[in-house]
Amino acid sequence: MYKKGDILTVTVENMAFGGDGIAKVENEYGKLVIFIENTAPQEIVEIEIISLKRNLAKGKLLKIIQKSPDRIAPRCPHSGPVINSDGVINYFNEKGEINLEKNCGGCAWQYIDYFKQLEIKEKEVWDSLVRIGEIDADYLNKIFHKIIPAQSPWFYRNKMDFSVVRDKKTGKRHFGLHMKGKFWQVTEIKECHLFRPWIKNFLQPMREFLTNLELKEGEIQSLVTRCGVNTGEVMINLIVENDQILWSHEFLQQVQKINYGDDKLTSVYITKIVNKKGQKKKFEEELLWGESIINEKLKLEDEQELNFEIAPSAFFQPNTHQAEKIYSLVKNLAELTGNEIIFDLFCGTGTIGLTLAGNSQKIIGVELNEFAVQNAKQNAELNNIKNTEYLVGDATKILKEMKKEADILVVDPPRAGLNNQIIELISSMKVKKVIYVSCNPTTLARDLKEFNRLGWRLDFVQAIDQFSHTYRIETVTRLIRN
């Protein structure tokens, strides 16, 4: 009935986890679900079908016929395509080339009112738990808490990774943020409303330096900016592959010229990737100037403060203030008495466990990444926390071999969530309470369904907006034994 290239007029019903609007039309299989970028709920739009499967399609937005009441003008000039007064969409510049000053994928929901964003995210969590998790809607009403908004929906990130991409046709380098869904192209942004305000002073001088730089061999990969939000300390790290790097002094001079506003340049690195055929890839970090680390603090709602030292390759939650809210919530849900043994699975650099350590008997962290575990140990030592133990390895294997029991288990897995085996292992233990922190409502719902099958009851759900103007959503849940 429908084919690739067809032009349709459709109504956007809601938003998918992934950021696209969803429209539905009748076809020979019943319903064809169409995913459409840059749209908002209640919009009537003209689209072109650009890919098609049996009952799923991807549509390219051509024109907004009737605008959503929640559509607003983006704050950032680089956000989204150009939309003229007639609602016609233009992804290209006057030369017919993709517009490198628009279509930025850094925060693709700027065109939707922030309070509507929160409503969409909350609904996505709710719908996933009912549809995939098969949780009774009336029961969910009793345990579902209103989404926690961002402390600020602007300038909230403490880390940004700006890419350098070479055009294969012209040989010219481009510097900026990747376009949504086009990882071979970047938007050449001159400002960014996700990171610290001084980034506006930083981007153009760095673009001019990096795109005109002559390398002996190899290529520039990216430029990473980090800042301690509660300390104001700044780290700059340039990632280069297979070059002799004879120009590091000139790079340092450029970085030191920047006005960092209320923040302070603390650390400048070049990380060299040695990637030769037949050899294992190596990462060589060279400190060009300043301190080897920057400091950050987490300030919890109960006035607990934790200090962290952040090295170039260390992971730290990208939104400091929302991380403080997540960890405060986890701590409240744990309802600690001081006697609990807590397993912290997928513990990363130990942040969740360290917030719980002062009110518990012992924290046992489990993490596959050996470097992250080293960092967790350093963080524990920095905060004079002595009741932690860290195990390196796969969480499923470690739980199989674990002889100790826990009172509380905290999991903060990657987007893929847990697997049935690890849920069964948790259920075979004497643990009384599981606190599950998720960055993906669909895999969370799938896992909660399995927990329920094995005798657990969900008794708390709350979403937290950690990445404003994107579809990303964090959810904190608690499970207890039936």
- Over residues 421-448, the pLDDT tens digits come to 999 999 999 999 999 999 999 999 999 9
Please check the confidence at residue 181 and state whether its pLDDT lies above 80. Answer: no
State the pLDDT at residue 482. 86
Say what the pTM is: 0.93
DSSP 149: P
State the pLDDT at residue 353. 96
**Integer angstrom CA distances of residue 331 from 230, 325, 351, 366, 474:** 21, 10, 12, 18, 16
Q: Please state the rounded mean pLDDT for residues 156-168.
A: 94
Summarize pLDDT for 141-158 with one digit per residue, the tens: 999 999 999 999 999 999
Q: In degrees rounded to 5, what are phi and psi of residue 12? A: -80, 120
Q: Please state the rounded mean pLDDT for residues 457-480.
A: 97
Summarize pLDDT for 299-357 with one digit per residue, the tens: 999 999 999 999 998 889 999 999 999 999 999 999 999 999 999 999 999 999 999 99
- What span, in angstroms and rounded, lies between the C-alpha atoms of 426 and 431? 7
Q: Please compute, for residue 138, the number of CA atoms within 13 A of its CA located in the half-sphere on the CB side.
A: 0
Q: How many helices, marked H, and strands, marked E, lie in the chain?
A: 10, 25
Domain extents in the chain: 7-103, 118-152+319-481, 159-296
Percent pLDDT > 70 in the chain is 100
State the pLDDT at residue 44. 97
Is the separation of the CB atoms in 55 and 32 below 8 Å?
A: yes
To the nearest whole number, what is the mean pLDDT of the chain?
Answer: 94
**Integer angstrom CA distances of residue 376 from 295, 366, 449:** 14, 10, 32
State the pLDDT at residue 216. 83
Topology classification of domain 159-296 = OB fold (Dihydrolipoamide Acetyltransferase, E2P) (2.40.50)
State the pLDDT at residue 92. 87
pLDDT band at residue 222 using 50, 70 and 90 as cut-offs = very high
User: 118-152+319-481 and 159-296 share one CATH topology?
Assistant: no
DSSP 214: P
Is the separation of the CB atoms in 431 and 70 below 8 Å?
A: no
Q: Please state the rounded mean pLDDT for residues 165-189.
A: 89
Integer-rounded Cα Rg, in Å, for the chain is 24
Question: Which tokens hold the place of 316?
Answer: 């730290």
Which helix (H) or strand (E) covers residue 459, if one does? strand 456-464
Q: Please state the rounded mean pLDDT for residues 5-20.
A: 95
pLDDT band at residue 170 using 50, 70 and 90 as cut-offs = confident
Which helix (H) or strand (E) covers residue 449, if one does? helix 441-453
Question: Which tokens hold the place of 66?
Answer: 């009737």
The domain 7-103 is placed in CATH, from the list 3.30.70.260, 2.40.50.140, 3.40.190.10, 3.40.50.620, at 2.40.50.140
- Assign domain 118-152+319-481 to a CATH class: alpha beta
Please check the confidence at residue 71 and state whether its pLDDT lies above 90. Answer: yes
- What span, in angstroms and rounded, lies between the C-alpha atoms of 151 and 472? 16
State the pLDDT at residue 291. 97
Q: Please state the rounded mean pLDDT for residues 387-414.
A: 94
Which helix (H) or strand (E) covers residue 143, if one does? helix 137-143
